[in-house]
Amino acid sequence: MIETKLLDLDLKSPLVLASGILGLTASSMKRVIEFGAGAVTSKSFNKDWRTGHKNPSIVPFEHGMLNAVGLSNPGLDEMIKEIRQYKEQCNAPIIASIFGRSLDEFGEVTQRAAESEPDMIEVNISCPNVHSEFGQPFGDSCPDTAQITQIVKKHAGKIPVSIKLGPHGPGIGVIAKVCEENGADAITAINTVGPGMIIDIDVKKPVLSNLTGGVSGPAILPVAVKSVYEVYKNVKIPIIGTGGVTKPSDAIQMILAGATAIGVGTAVYYEGIEVFKKLNDGIEAYLKENSYKSTDEIRGAAHE
Amino acid sequence: MIETKLLDLDLKSPLVLASGILGLTASSMKRVIEFGAGAVTSKSFNKDWRTGHKNPSIVPFEHGMLNAVGLSNPGLDEMIKEIRQYKEQCNAPIIASIFGRSLDEFGEVTQRAAESEPDMIEVNISCPNVHSEFGQPFGDSCPDTAQITQIVKKHAGKIPVSIKLGPHGPGIGVIAKVCEENGADAITAINTVGPGMIIDIDVKKPVLSNLTGGVSGPAILPVAVKSVYEVYKNVKIPIIGTGGVTKPSDAIQMILAGATAIGVGTAVYYEGIEVFKKLNDGIEAYLKENSYKSTDEIRGAAHE
Amino acid sequence: MSDTMKTYPIRKIVEHGPGVKSFYFDKTFDVQAGEFVNIWSPGIDEKPYSVSAVVDDLIEISVKAYGPFSKNLMTKSVGDRLGVRGPFGHRFSLQNNALLIGGGIGIAPLRILAQELKAAGKRFVNLLGAAVEYEIIFASDFEKWGKTYFTTDDGSKGKKGLVTDDLVTILEKEKIEYIYGAGPEIMFVKVREIIDPLNIPYEFCMERYMKCGIGICGQCCLDGSGIRLCVEGPVLKKEDIAKVTELGMKHRDASGRRV
Amino acid sequence: MSDTMKTYPIRKIVEHGPGVKSFYFDKTFDVQAGEFVNIWSPGIDEKPYSVSAVVDDLIEISVKAYGPFSKNLMTKSVGDRLGVRGPFGHRFSLQNNALLIGGGIGIAPLRILAQELKAAGKRFVNLLGAAVEYEIIFASDFEKWGKTYFTTDDGSKGKKGLVTDDLVTILEKEKIEYIYGAGPEIMFVKVREIIDPLNIPYEFCMERYMKCGIGICGQCCLDGSGIRLCVEGPVLKKEDIAKVTELGMKHRDASGRRV
Ligand SMILES: Cc1cc2nc3c(=O)[nH]c(=O)nc-3n(C[C@H](O)[C@H](O)[C@H](O)COP(=O)(O)OP(=O)(O)OC[C@H]3O[C@@H](n4cnc5c(N)ncnc54)[C@H](O)[C@@H]3O)c2cc1C
Ligand SMILES: Cc1cc2nc3c(=O)[nH]c(=O)nc-3n(C[C@H](O)[C@H](O)[C@H](O)COP(=O)(O)OP(=O)(O)OC[C@H]3O[C@@H](n4cnc5c(N)ncnc54)[C@H](O)[C@@H]3O)c2cc1C
Ligand SMILES: Cc1cc2nc3c(=O)[nH]c(=O)nc-3n(C[C@H](O)[C@H](O)[C@H](O)COP(=O)(O)O)c2cc1C
Ligand SMILES: Cc1cc2nc3c(=O)[nH]c(=O)nc-3n(C[C@H](O)[C@H](O)[C@H](O)COP(=O)(O)O)c2cc1C
Ligand code: FES
Ligand code: FES
């Protein structure tokens, strides 16, 4: 009853492992599927590997989490291997998350990623941790977003493309429309919020080696729900609603706001890797109680 | 030992009641001073009174609060009366928070507000709840911010002016610099984050009558600390660091990030009106333990 | 107790008369006499209502149709969901030999007070007034629990007139040592004129326009002391009421203006 | 236990020998054998370290100078503040007639395991090896608590050679029914070659490059099962280790590449 169709993909559950969480290796992503996710997203990768920022790079606070891993990743070649391996061992859809430092790199990485035949390619144009290196996220600029969407679509072939947006910039509804107009097949919203900073008052230093980090987890749920609501209002393509989903009611809020699938990341820390089963059970219970047959019946209902 | 000098103003405590919290009447602001605040900020007001949005307009969630009061206020004339009354009864500094829907209104409201001789005028160019009516907050645009700062300074006379910024837009450091270059005497950072949305999954409707509301409280502390850190890095003028401050360690993080005074709003809900005394005691205890004589010794220390 | 928004189905509705109804919800939190809840009618508005009783496992609120919101509530049926946040505010104390003076829908909070006084074994007398008979809700309960005097504007129940008419006589006859009041503010003004000289301590359950109900918006702050009616009130003691400089005067509306 | 960052002053430092030190912090949380903490040296980096003992009201970690981070720790003095997050990970079980095999700094987690086995009244034997004598930390404690065999590369303590040399003889002589191991991975590989045929159950305390330590970054996931060493480990049972397809092979670095 929670089976979900995301474009042409059949998901046993609307829950999608969000990028950057346990998405480095085939084995680990396969394990997440075994725990109840309907699909997984790989860690975002670009052409060459990146060590990312030093530790502390991931630090919880009372109401969420700050991270500045700095898009560390083993690079194109390694990740493509892992995606291939995953597909040999597991038939739940896998989404390859990619990024680049230039238009050309976005194109090149997409092309190579496509060779490993992921079920979808997610384009991360909204990571807030890489300012210093890339300036403001591409996703804050409409022209950049348009260009990137076009070039990625050009190189992705028949593989559907989702653009991952952040909550900031000129308004997520506007940006989502730009993505749709330029051929995007789906929208993933949102990336982390902020960024934020935690200062240790005893050593009087920012805790993260990068000083600042994107905020995720329960603290950002309302901003994520609002973003999904905005996107749904502005585009027809499906949405992977992501951000702060920890309890079943959070996931249901996302669906009511308009999400087709639901990204789950930081909750793996709060609820353990069992969170996927807990959420599936909770969503199913809600549908039963209100005698719905599937999430399709309530998608976007908060707009009425 | 927690006495603080904000420009030429002598505050018995660095804590300032944030705008929009208990700031409608002289009696209520006087009471906040009695509970330990060093200064108070009035509710933001413009020329004519505004009823604001219907209820629910202020709703807590697990990790903070959403509000969309819609800048309801009794209007210029009433608020000026209240400020005058306050000054007759209380000698702790009062900050008049003003806004306008046009450049002219900003000027006019400033001029009239100045007549009531508040100790400072705070200019709210960052309220996220009034998009529909005003488009994006002025504070998201550098030219708008420059113009507003100039016109407000022109009409404020010798009364110092603080510009209240939000965390969003082209980068709060950049905007703060624009304010300083155009004559602002101080910066208040930050306004609410987001906005966000909460959907009731049983009635399947957004809870706020305005659908969305700005996020405040504990959830936004890291974003606020980061914003203050950015502003301090970019300008010399003092900062009223505001956003999520609930515990003494939160206030100390703000000072280490570079805040001279600390705005306290939503914590009045979480900790009660006694929060001001609790924070004062906690800050003083920290200074004693580390044998500092005043907050001046640690202001901005996180930048070293 | 929950300040976050949650909706509950209406379990039961009782119509006391034209435009006066009680609504019942599952008792999901403990509540004490004088406390109120914020009732959200999705898509319409949210306003404060005193809890008028706790019966079995249900909490009850009683609403009189005034303007748009309360009239909207009148259209609700059993099963409809309303947001219920709270309980908010500060309770009544429980004193012996008390007189409960209620005017109109103000009788609602006195109902649960009477319940608690009874349970605490206190003696009390009731003086209830309204425009017409059916507006005196819970009349039989009050009579069951203690000596009860009634007044109505049209004499349809009890004596024709106002609750203040025979107040002095009743105070002496019933050896009243404490007074609880709930109703229109004009009633408080009149009652005070009578009882202040007699030095009888009292508590009134007051109303102001409320937005947040949780003590941060400032909408309900009383001039004089700055007391927040939604937190330190709605029940105020004699001493606190003495500090209020706006009693019976214009109140603030949603914008904060006095109207 | 706290995953949020908090710094604590170093209360005590013990130098075991050149580049091998123990650091002590106030015991602000309970910790069990096998669990580790993330140590943050402000401005430098943060890395995982096994708790090596709980003494009185202090918790102890023991560090060997390898590269930049551990060398930085060597420069710290009593009173300096370090971030201590945790405890993280999954503990050792407590079995009877066990052999504790430790290599180099891997002896650290075995120290607290020995403490707990002793407290639980279990019998155990120790087999500890390192490059030189001073690297065999806590030697006297281990000897005090149970029969202890030593090996060093240079013969400066115990027998010259590796812990694996006399393993078979010791297993028979001491009637060993369970094995605990901690040390360089190459040691595990060799030990398994010997004990797997003998069908002895075991647990190894393993290491991988760790970022978050709280099970979300995926940096420490083991190929084969996808098990997160920081949550389901660092102590793995025989069955789990059997599933690991990368044992003794290249590990992932900070980028996630195998190096
Ligand atoms: C702490 C508290 C407890 C309350 N308890 C109850 C209760 O138990 N039952 C109940 O029916 N109402 C109660 N109220 C009043 C209630 O919140 C609404 O104000 C009332 O239902 C009218 O709302 P409306 O939108 O229908 O009318 P509005 O449009 O708000 O007002 C319409 C007209 O009614 C008048 N009016 C509004 N509220 C009141 C009032 N409470 N008493 C007298 N005249 C009023 C207004 O002045 C206006 O003239 C309480 C208010 C507070 C602050
Ligand atoms: C769960 C866990 C528990 C740990 N417990 C301890 C402990 O109790 N005591 C301790 O000293 N270290 C322990 N480590 C290792 C520790 O986290 C650091 O990796 C180690 O201090 C080296 O870091 P470095 O930056 O100084 O050296 P790096 O720059 O990281 O590496 C320098 C060289 O040392 C090698 N090296 C790095 N770490 C180790 C290691 N752990 N063992 C052998 N060679 C290594 C590297 O391969 C490299 O060649 C533990 C690691 C994990 C994952
Ligand atoms: C540790 C960590 C690493 C992340 N790495 C990535 C990444 O590489 N690419 C990406 O698009 N998003 C990344 N994100 C963002 C998440 O995918 C997700 O959008 C965000 O965390 C909000 O969802 P959540 O609250 O469920 O975690 C990362 C988040 C965390 C916490
Ligand atoms: C109910 C409410 C009303 C507010 N009204 C205003 C306002 O009128 N003007 C303004 O500049 N900020 C307003 N704010 C923002 C606060 O002043 C403050 O910047 C923000 O809430 C973050 O601080 P906090 O987390 O301590 O509340 C309001 C906040 C709340 C919660
Ligand atoms: S209603 Fe907001 S403070 Fe009382
Ligand atoms: S270190 Fe991050 S998952 Fe283990």
Q: For the segment B152-171, what is each residue's pLDDT rounded down to a tens digit?
A: 999 999 999 999 999 976 68
From start to end of A100-198, where are the E strands?
Answer: 120-124, 161-165, 186-189, 193-196
**Mean of the per-residue pLDDT values for chain A?**
93
pLDDT class of A128 with cuts at 50, 70, 90 = low
Mutation test residue for ligand 5: of C228, C252, C255, the one with most atoms within 8 Å of CB = C228
| Contact assessment for residue D103 and residue D132, using Cβ atoms and an 8 Å cutoff | no
Q: Which of A49, A57, A203 sits opposite D42 (nearest CB)?
A: A203
| Residue A301, SS3 per DSSP | helix
| Contact assessment for residue A149 and residue A163, using Cβ atoms and an 8 Å cutoff | yes
pLDDT score of D96 more than 90: yes
Q: How far apart, in whole angstroms, are the C-alpha atoms of residue D211 and residue B291?
A: 36
Q: Which residue has the higher pLDDT, C245 or A135?
A: C245
Chain-chain contact of A229 with B211 (C-beta, under 8 angstroms) = yes
pLDDT for D259: 64
pLDDT score of D172 more than 70: yes
In the complex, which subunits touch B with 3 or more CB pairs below 8 angstroms? A, C
Percent of chain A's residues with pLDDT above 90: 84
From start to end of chain B, where are the E strands?
Answer: 4-6, 9-11, 15-17, 39-41, 58-61, 64-67, 94-98, 120-124, 161-165, 186-189, 193-196, 199-200, 205-206, 213-216, 239-242, 261-264
Q: Which residue has the higher pLDDT, B239 or A78?
A: B239
What does the block give as tokens for A218? 């329960």
Residue C96: closest CA among C127, C117, C73, C70: C117
The average pLDDT across C36-62 equals 95
The average pLDDT across D69-84 equals 97
The number of beta carbons lying within 10 Å of the beta carbon of residue C14 is 12
The average pLDDT across B174-200 equals 96
- Closest residue CA from atom 9 of ligand 1: C63
Encode pLDDT of A237-281 as tens digits.
999 999 999 999 999 999 999 999 999 999 999 999 999 999 999
Least confident of B245-259, D60-74, D245-259: D245-259
Chain B residue with Cα closest to C246: B27
In the complex, which subunits touch D with 3 or more CB pairs below 8 angstroms? A
pLDDT for B133: 43
- Beta pairing class for D81-88 and D36-41: antiparallel
Q: How far is the CA of B243 from the centre of ligand 4 (A)?
A: 8
pLDDT for B119: 98
pLDDT class of B135 with cuts at 50, 70, 90 = low
Encode pLDDT of A3-60 as tens digits.
999 999 999 999 999 999 999 999 999 999 999 999 999 999 998 877 778 999 999 9
pLDDT for A273: 96
| Residue C49, SS3 per DSSP | strand
pLDDT score of A131 more than 60: no
pLDDT score of B131 more than 80: no
- Beta pairing class for D148-152 and A94-98: unpaired
pLDDT score of A140 more than 90: no
Residue C61: closest CA among C20, C6, C2: C20
Q: How far apart, in whole angstroms, are the C-alpha atoms of residue B155 and residue B107?
A: 6
- Beta pairing class for C36-41 and C45-55: antiparallel
Return the ligand 6 atom nearest residue D229 CA.
Answer: 4
Mutation pick from B17, B27, B90 vs chain C, by most beta carbons of C within 10 Å, is: B27
Q: How far apart are the first and last CA of chain D?
A: 33
pLDDT score of C257 more than 90: no
Mutation test residue for ligand 5: of C38, C88, C90, C216, the one with most atoms within 8 Å of CB = C216
| D3 secondary structure, DSSP code | -
**Mean of the per-residue pLDDT values for chain D?**
92
Distance of CA B216 to the CA centre of its chain: 11
pLDDT for A245: 98
Q: How far apart, in whole angstroms, are the C-alpha atoms of residue B211 and residue C255?
A: 20
pLDDT for A141: 80
Encode pLDDT of D193-238 as tens digits.
999 999 999 999 999 889 999 999 999 998 888 999 999 989 999 9
Q: How far apart, in whole angstroms, are the C-alpha atoms of residue C207 and residue D188?
A: 75
Measured CA angle at B252 (ends B250, B254), to 5 deg: 75
| Residue C36, SS3 per DSSP | strand
Mutation pick from B59, B175, B204 vs chain A, by most beta carbons of A within 10 Å, is: B204
Q: How far apart, in whole angstroms, are the C-alpha atoms of residue B180 and residue B243?
A: 21
pLDDT for A115: 92
pLDDT for A73: 79
Encode pLDDT of B54-69 as tens digits.
999 999 999 999 999 8
pLDDT for A139: 72
